[in-house]
Structure 1
Amino acid sequence: MRPQKILDTDMISGLTKVFRDKGYEGASLNDLAEVTGLKKASLYHRFPNGKQEMAECVLSDIDQWVDENIFFALLDETKSTELRLKDALKNIEILYDSGKNTCVLRAFSMHGGLTLFEEQIKSGMEKWISAFNVLGMSLKFTSTESQQNAIQTFIDLQGSLVVTKGLADTSIFKNTLKNIEKRYSIA
């Protein structure tokens, strides 16, 4: 068997970029083939179920990265809540390239993508909210405060990504991260 010319990590990175930039519906097979450096036939060889399988692979890859780098940081009770939050926020900044990257959950929640990926999108959102809820509970917030703060944190992150992209101003995203840190600071 011939060695693969395109590494899986490079291929997934390229697919992620196209889906972030164009959404599921807007990403054409030409775009996906071009970014991976593969011909359409080779792309279909790797992903027999086509664009949907490519998108599922991207969602799975990002989900795993977020689990390992953000949720694990928020839930790691061997560290102080302050350090857990700082680690998670640092990794959120990396995930979204200081606000330059669109959230994949948002990119897939448009048009037909929402129907195809509804469960993954819902699960992803619930995991974000749950992880911040746990952080709030560890800070002795009431369960209502903790849940409200977790939901607001997710809304703030998502909203700031949209506004940052629309205004081409990464300071909006960075300020949002600072405000989230203040929200969870021990008074």
Structure 2
Amino acid sequence: MRPQKVNDVELLSRLMSVIRSKGYDGASLNDLAAVSGLKKASLYHRFPGGKKDIVLAVLGYVDDWFVKHIQEIVYAKDISKEDKLSRVLNSINELYACGLESCIVGALTLGGGISLFTNELKTGIESWLDCFSKIGTDFGYDKEESNQKAIQVLVKIQGSLIVSKACGSTHPFNESIKEIKELYIS
């Protein structure tokens, strides 16, 4: 067997960049092949189901990132609640390049992506909400208030990503990250 030209992590990261910027409908196999550094035949070899399999693999990659950079931190027993929140927000800042990168969930909710990946997107959002709700309970808020704060966090992240992208400025995203911290530590 010939060695792979591109390792899986690098490949999925590259493919994710196209999905983030063009969504499911806008990302062509030519775009995906070009960014991957592979020919379309090689891309089909790795992803026999084509674009749908590519997006499912990218969503799996995002889930793995989430577990490592959010979930494991939130549920760690040996980290203070303040440090958990700080680490999680730093990870989010890195994921979205301080607000310069779009969210894959947002990109996939447009056009045909939403109907193809409804379950995966819903599960992903629920995981984010669970983690931010857990942060709320760690800070002493009751379950209902923690759930409301978690929703506010996702709205702040998603909304500020859109505004930052539209304005060509990271300021809205950076302000939202600060506001999220203040939401828990008041």
2:183 maps to: 183
What are the Cα deviations for residues 54-91 of structure 1, in whole angstroms up to 9, with x where unaligned?
A: 00000000111011101222222321110000000000
Alignment of 1:34-73 (within 5 A): 34-73=34-73
Q: Give TM-score, length-normalised by structure 1.
A: 0.96
- Please report the RMSD computed on the Cα atoms of aligned residues, expressed in angstroms: 0.9
Whole-Å separation in 1 of the counterparts to 2:74 and 2:100: 23
Offset of residue 14 of structure 1:
1.1
What are the Cα deviations for residues 97-137 of structure 1, in whole angstroms up to 9, with x where unaligned?
A: 11111111111111111111000100111111110101111
For 1:6, what is the secondary structure of its paired residue? coil
1:142 maps to: 142
Whole-Å separation in 1 of the counterparts to 2:172 and 2:48: 40
Whole-Å separation in 2 of the counterparts to 1:133 and 1:75: 11
For 1:140, what is the secondary structure of its paired residue? coil
2:124 maps to: 124
What are the ranges of 5 or more consecutive residues in structure 2 without an aligned counterpart? none
What are the ranges of 5 or more consecutive residues in structure 1 without an aligned counterpart? none
Whole-Å separation in 2 of the counterparts to 1:6 and 1:84: 34
User: After the TM superposition, which parts of structure 1 deviate over 4 Å for at least 4 consecutive aligned residues?
Assistant: none
**Equivalent AA in structure 2 for residue 34 of structure 1:** A
Whole-Å separation in 2 of the counterparts to 1:64 and 1:12: 12
Whole-Å separation in 2 of the counterparts to 1:76 and 1:38: 39
User: Is 2:81 the counterpart of 1:81?
Assistant: yes
Whole-Å separation in 2 of the counterparts to 1:168 and 1:5: 34
Offset of residue 160 of structure 1:
0.5
For 1:111, what is the secondary structure of its paired residue? coil
Whole-Å separation in 1 of the counterparts to 2:45 and 2:143: 49
Q: Give TM-score, length-normalised by structure 2.
A: 0.97
Identical amino acids, percent of aligned pairs: 42
1:105 maps to: 105
Whole-Å separation in 2 of the counterparts to 1:127 and 1:5: 33
Aligned length: 186
Offset of residue 155 of structure 1:
0.7
